Chain A
Amino acid sequence: MKRNRKEGLFKGELVADAIKQSFVKLNPKYQFRSPVMFTVEIGTFVMMFVCAWILAGEKSQGSFTYNFLIFLILLATLLFANFAEALAEARGKAQAASLRKTREDTPAKKVELVGNMYLNEVHVVSSSELVKGDVFICETGDIVPTDGEIIEGIATIDESAITGESAPVVRESGGDKSSVTGGTKVLSDKIKVKVTTSPGESFLDKMIALVEGASRQKTPNEIALTILLAGFTLVFIIVCITLQPFASYAKTPIPISAYISLFVCLIPTTIGGLLSAIGISGMDRALRANVIAKSGKAVETAGDLDVLLLDKTGTITIGNRKATNFYPAKGVDKDRLIKCAVLSSMADETPEGKSIIELGGINPQSLQVDNPTFIKFTAETRSSGIDFGNTQIRKGAFDAMKNKVEKADNLFPAGTIEDVKKISSNGGTPLVVLENNVVLGVIELQDIIKTGIFERFERLRKMGVKTVMVTGDNPLTAKYIAEKAGVDDYIAEAKPEDKMAYIRKEQATGKLVAMMGDGTNDAPALAQADVGVAMNSGTAAAKEAGNMVDLDNDPTKLIEIVEIGKQLLMTRGTLTTFSIANDVAKYFAIVPALFITSIPVLQKINIMNLHSPSSAILSAIIFNAIIIPMLIPLALKGVAYKPIGASALLRRNLLVYGLGGILVPFIGIKLIDMVVAIWM
């Protein structure tokens, strides 16, 4: 999937399909969706009749060739606009199809239900026959036939078909990682899975519908923009219709082709033609980032986000804490502390335990220990360790260890208490090591902040987005990490309800909040958030509650999602500005052309010094047509978003697309006119 990101815009087969679609989309019923292009289509029809009229002997409308040329250029304008939309659709569909391919008919081992009992008998059926609520079994080597939730068992699964990540993941029933996705492969063990979606209703199916033009719903902002464009179109309808009596007062006959050309040039065809392509490619960009958005609105909203709620673990820090230092107690040899720390971690499979051994630099196998008994960590003792011979070594939380020491009537050394405090206030976690209830010292565990995360938060801050870290750590540790990572706020000792409360609080002040989550207990907050991104590995409830699903299970994805949303809106805004700014030059091309024959003094406003009235009109509508395909790459890729602050961004875009929009057509029309003049 990730390979596709670098693919060219104009892939052969996509283009061929898009060209075919451009003609199919000429159907007026379809064009009606875009008021701007619909009026162009009416204009094209009128020109067709004018051509026929001239063939029938009409003399007042100019030559047939000229009128037919105008008809062809208008037709090309329509086709170009259709092509833009069709290409965006084709790209989106191709993207979705490659995801869908993974879940084409696969055999499913369905378990029959009798009353409330599942029989152990298995029927092999086609995956397409599975409906919501069915239960199937997957064993080693099976492809998961459809999306579902594990109700029994644990398995390692290869999700590379969906995420592109080759490392297998563990999925098991009951927890927050109980979800399996169709198309992934079970590598070991056996799971019983309950189907959560009916065929045709999976997230992927929904996403495919969003990139298909016909069934695509316009987003609220798109509707508002369409109203603006329709308004402009109406203004120019009035301008062109009233021009007829004005011209007849001024005794200037204007042929129909000139009215139609003036009209088509003035209405915002550039943005009108590219609008739906922009929307589709926004969805497509989300899909390329391996995010399935459930609605176009969600992507739009992402551009508006003010607050991001990010889980500390996995987003800000790499998953696990690491041992970074040993602090021996007074009078204890450091090597002895290290040796005991390593011994206590010998059987500790947690990443923290492994990191202690790593930091200690001693191979635990080299230490001679007779008949060791390993003590596992429990929530009551809050410690783990090893017993051998007469020796008892423990490592654990400060207060648990302190109790233990005091119970044995030993003294807890003051220097170690100092060390413990220092570690806590530096954002670390202290682990006290005891040998036979005597304090040897402290191990410092530190959260490792991901490299580059500080810069990403800086970038978000420049976008005006506030970042909030959510963590189960104590406030002291949370504050330290928050400062170090550069987040704006944090929720310490967070319970799932805290997230919800925080979201509500921010929303009450009018802010838009996004969060990412995977657990069932995250579901209410995911639903409450304006943009809730559920991890694909998360529970069905979480995925149902959010409005986006991240196939990569990557918590930093939120940042990309915000940029995709902003890019979508910016592309609309800049192309609208460009399109409207173009009118200045077009007026100066066509208005003199309309009147020059009867009012020669108006030659003075022909500031581009165009060759003749007919060449001026042709150049203007040719420019108007070819600017559409020239802007297709921009519409599909989106205007680059730079987090330089809203004011600087506005200045930059106004300069490029506003001023550029005024100047480019002056140059373009003049150049086209020089070419056209060769034949005229």
Chain B
Amino acid sequence: MNSQILGVVVMFVATLLLAVPLGRYIAKVYGGQRVWTDGIFNPIERLFFKASRIDPGIEMGWKQSLVALLTINLIWFLWAVFCLLNQSWLPMNPDHNPNMTPDLAINTAISFLVNCNLQQYSGETGVSYFSQVFGLMFLQFASAGTGMAAAAVVFNALKDRTTDKLGNFYNYFLRSCTRILLPICILIAAIHLFEGTPMTFKGIDTVTSVQGDTMHVSRGPVAAFVAIKHLGTNGGGFFGANSAHPFENPTYLSNIVQMVAQILIPFAMVFAFGFYCNKKRLAWVFWGVMTLGFLILVVPAIITEVHGNPYIAHMGISQPGGNMEGKEVRFGAVASAFWSIATTVISTGSVNAMHDSFMPVSGMNMLLGMMINSFYGGVGVGFLNFFIYVILAVFIGGLMVGRTPEFEGKKIEAREMKIAMIIALFHPFLILSFTALACYFTAHDTNMGWWFADAAGKHNAGGWLNNPSYHGFSEMLYQYTSSSANNGSGFEGLADNNPFWNISTGIVLLFSRFLPIIGPVAIAGLMAGKKFIPASGGTLKTDTGTFGLLVFAVKVIIAALAFFPALALGPIAEWMKTP
């Protein structure tokens, strides 16, 4: 067990050691400074800009940046829907997988567009290689790049000056993909190749087992897919079993690499902010707040999983490996628990174990990670979510030192507060109101008609739950929480591939992706246009532990406590019931 714990500590420290220099590199990329990759990427980028007739030198305001962001996202969405609806006749479909139904295609396209990767299909049978590579994998790059570019706009806006020119969005986006995501992905994919992950465009392989049975083994361009899946905190698996699948995550080493890959950029973006705006201490305070939250969630999860399942213990069965139900033996309880919390605090949502089978405390902590959604958070967007809480904390803290609130020399006034409050409100609103809707139908066992049919063809809403009582409630709560956090992991057990869940989660996904990007960019853009006020002895210092604690408290009280009644009916009740 000790070596397992050592394993996760090494993972964490390794990520931190890599993230700091990466942060410096990212800051240089966005700042337009010379970096060692210039020689390779300058000509490639020029080609892109020439073809698209974009002048990367033209600076945009925050509104223009958002218009650009939303426009290209809309086009990508249409493209992905086209791929999924026509994959049966498009090339690269050796296994002859059929077209998706429209509701599933829309849900899938939205889900990959918004960096969520909620998958209500299985990769082996649901999509062709064409869709995987040109539809989904493309979106995994593009959505990560979008989040990072939006964060870059915010970084630019938070510099100590007054301006309405915040750089060129397209330039930030392209550079995020080419200079940051691509090189690291190639490295990750190469490691996976050595570990045994397939990289082929051939269809299903048929092998004869030792016992003489015939087995059909799905394969495909998995190594390339897995790299961006984690680096871009996307989390959509190539196979249905995601990172628990032996091809997708073959060894303990590949597990470490995937783990590091998904935490790497969320860490690095915080440091990049510090380097870019020359506020390194502040960046460390932010990182410290995030880490404090992460540790509070991950430590109890690891402890409970290591202790094993009390119900099994009651049966007199010893559990030397801890609670191993739904977990892979090659990863063990500790690394699986660590992964489950990491993948939920960060919006990856890839899984290497069955979240449904974790102990209630772990399940609650996964939910909390997504409810707060900014203890690291997804690439780029994690920082943006965090920024909203910083604004709220600055407002309260600023007043407490006897000044009208300001952050980094810019006043926070009614307009910024309005936007920050709407964004902070929206997350609990989406999660609670949609879960309430699902609960209503379940409680009344409503006949859902076209919206839902279970395996037996019955339309009763109660049929979508696999487990009754508290655990069933957690399943529904988890589904919408995962959607609203753009996380994409599933608690599983819920019958979710049907119009009701596809459409409702699709709506949640769209709102919860774009509003939390628009809001922070708007706030930062408004702040950038304000007069810069140099700090004095009376100014609230944000790069201190006290301020960090205030941010932490604001997050816990606003984000976590709003869900307390809901959690009490789900994981808390289940936890209290466990002997």
- Chain A residues close to B by CB (< 8 Å): 220-221, 223-225, 227-228, 230-232, 234-236, 238-239, 241-251, 262, 300-301, 303-304, 306, 461-466, 509-512, 565-567, 569-570, 572-574, 576-577, 580-581, 583-584, 587, 591-592, 594-595, 599, 601-602, 604-605, 641, 645-647, 649-651, 653-654, 657-658
Asked, given contacts A242-B433, A647-B544, whether A225 binds B568 with beta carbons under 8 Å apart, the answer is no
Q: Are B400 and A245 in contact (CB under 8 A)?
A: no
Q: Are B562 and A235 in contact (CB under 8 A)?
A: yes
In the complex, residue of chain A having the shortest beta-carbon distance to the beta carbon of B424: A231
Indicate which residue in B422, B442, B534, B557 contacts A511 across the interface (CB closer than 8 Å). Answer: B534
- Please indicate the chain B residues that have their CB under 8 angstroms from the CB of A243 in the complex: 565-566
12 A-B residue pairs with CB within 8 Å: A224-B417, A228-B395, A228-B396, A246-B435, A262-B565, A465-B538, A570-B401, A577-B400, A591-B564, A594-B565, A601-B576, A646-B541
Q: Are B404 and A650 in contact (CB under 8 A)?
A: no
Q: CA A640 – CA B167 in complex, angstroms? A: 45
Q: Are B435 and A580 in contact (CB under 8 A)?
A: no
Q: Is residue B418 contacting chain A, with contact meaning CB distance below 8 A?
A: yes
Q: Is residue B17 contacting chain A, with contact meaning CB distance below 8 A?
A: no
Question: Which of B68-76, B185-193, B406-414 makes up part of the contact surface?
Answer: B406-414
- Please indicate the chain B residues that have their CB under 8 angstroms from the CB of A647 in the complex: 541, 544, 546
Q: CA A509 – CA B416 in complex, angstroms? A: 22
- Please indicate the chain A residues that have their CB under 8 angstroms from the CB of B463 in the complex: none
B424-465 interface bits toward A, Cβ cutoff 8 Å, 1 = contact, 0 = none: 110011001101110110111000000000000000000000
- Please indicate the chain B residues that have their CB under 8 angstroms from the CB of A602 in the complex: 568, 572-573, 576
Q: How far is the CB of A59 from chain B (nearest CB, A)?
A: 22
Asked, given contacts A653-B400, A654-B546, whether A584 binds B557 with beta carbons under 8 Å apart, the answer is yes
Indicate which residue in B414, B428, B442, B537 contacts A249 across the interface (CB closer than 8 Å). Answer: B442
Q: Are B399 and A225 in contact (CB under 8 A)?
A: yes
Across the A-B interface, the 6 shortest Cβ-Cβ residue pairs: A573-B399, A464-B538, A566-B402, A464-B537, A231-B421, A573-B400
Q: Bin the interface of chain B by size.
A: 35 or more
- Chain B residues close to A by CB (< 8 Å): 392, 395-405, 409, 412-414, 416-418, 421-422, 424-425, 428-429, 432-433, 435-437, 439-440, 442-444, 469-470, 473, 531-534, 536-541, 544, 546-547, 549-550, 553, 557-558, 561-562, 564-566, 568-569, 572-573, 576-577
Q: Are B433 and A566 in contact (CB under 8 A)?
A: no
Q: Are A235 and B435 in contact (CB under 8 A)?
A: no
Q: How far is the CB of A118 from chain B (nearest CB, A)?
A: 49
Asked, given contacts A591-B568, A602-B573, A658-B553, whether A583 binds B400 with beta carbons under 8 Å apart, the answer is no
Q: Are A605 and B576 in contact (CB under 8 A)?
A: yes
- Please indicate the chain A residues that have their CB under 8 angstroms from the CB of B544 in the complex: 647, 650
Q: CA A624 – CA B307 in complex, angstroms? A: 41
Q: How far is the CB of B398 from chain A (nearest CB, A)?
A: 7
Asked, given contacts A250-B569, A574-B400, whether A510 binds B533 with beta carbons under 8 Å apart, the answer is yes
Q: Are B538 and A245 in contact (CB under 8 A)?
A: no
How many residue pairs link A and B with beta carbons under 8 A? The number is 218
Q: Are B401 and A245 in contact (CB under 8 A)?
A: no
Q: How far is the CB of A642 from chain B (nearest CB, A)?
A: 10
Indicate which residue in A244, A591, A645 contacts B436 across the interface (CB closer than 8 Å). Answer: A244
- Please indicate the chain B residues that have their CB under 8 angstroms from the CB of A242 in the complex: 432-433, 435-436, 566
Q: Are A510 and B569 in contact (CB under 8 A)?
A: no
- Please indicate the chain A residues that have their CB under 8 angstroms from the CB of B470 in the complex: 250
Q: Are A646 and B443 in contact (CB under 8 A)?
A: no
Q: Are B414 and A245 in contact (CB under 8 A)?
A: no
Asked, given contacts A227-B414, A228-B417, A242-B432, whether A303 binds B403 with beta carbons under 8 Å apart, the answer is yes
- Please indicate the chain A residues that have their CB under 8 angstroms from the CB of B549 in the complex: 654
Q: Are A220 and B413 in contact (CB under 8 A)?
A: yes
Q: Are B404 and A601 in contact (CB under 8 A)?
A: no
Q: CA A647 – CA B413 in complex, angstroms? A: 22
Q: Are B417 and A227 in contact (CB under 8 A)?
A: yes
Q: Are B473 and A246 in contact (CB under 8 A)?
A: yes
- Please indicate the chain A residues that have their CB under 8 angstroms from the CB of B532 in the complex: 510
Q: How far is the CB of B553 from chain A (nearest CB, A)?
A: 7
Q: CA A569 – CA B533 in complex, angstroms? A: 18
In the complex, residue of chain A having the shortest beta-carbon distance to the beta carbon of B444: A248
Indicate which residue in A220, A573, A646 contacts B396 across the interface (CB closer than 8 Å). Answer: A573
Task: A235-B428, A243-B566, A569-B402 given; name 10 further pairs at CB < 8 Å.
Answer: A228-B421, A246-B439, A246-B569, A249-B439, A463-B537, A569-B399, A573-B402, A576-B399, A601-B576, A650-B541
Q: How far is the CB of A583 from chain B (nearest CB, A)?
A: 6
Indicate which residue in A462, A574, A591 contacts B565 across the interface (CB closer than 8 Å). Answer: A591
- Please indicate the chain B residues that have their CB under 8 angstroms from the CB of A248 in the complex: 439-440, 443-444
Asked, given contacts A220-B413, A245-B440, whether A646 binds B540 with beta carbons under 8 Å apart, the answer is yes
Asked, given contacts A238-B428, A464-B536, whether A246 binds B436 with beta carbons under 8 Å apart, the answer is yes
Q: CA A262 – CA B568 in complex, angstroms? A: 14
Q: CA A466 – CA B537 in complex, angstroms? A: 9
- Please indicate the chain B residues that have their CB under 8 angstroms from the CB of A463 in the complex: 537-538
Indicate which residue in B397, B546, B557, B561 contacts A573 across the interface (CB closer than 8 Å). Answer: B397
- Please indicate the chain A residues that have their CB under 8 angstroms from the CB of B576 in the complex: 601-602, 604-605
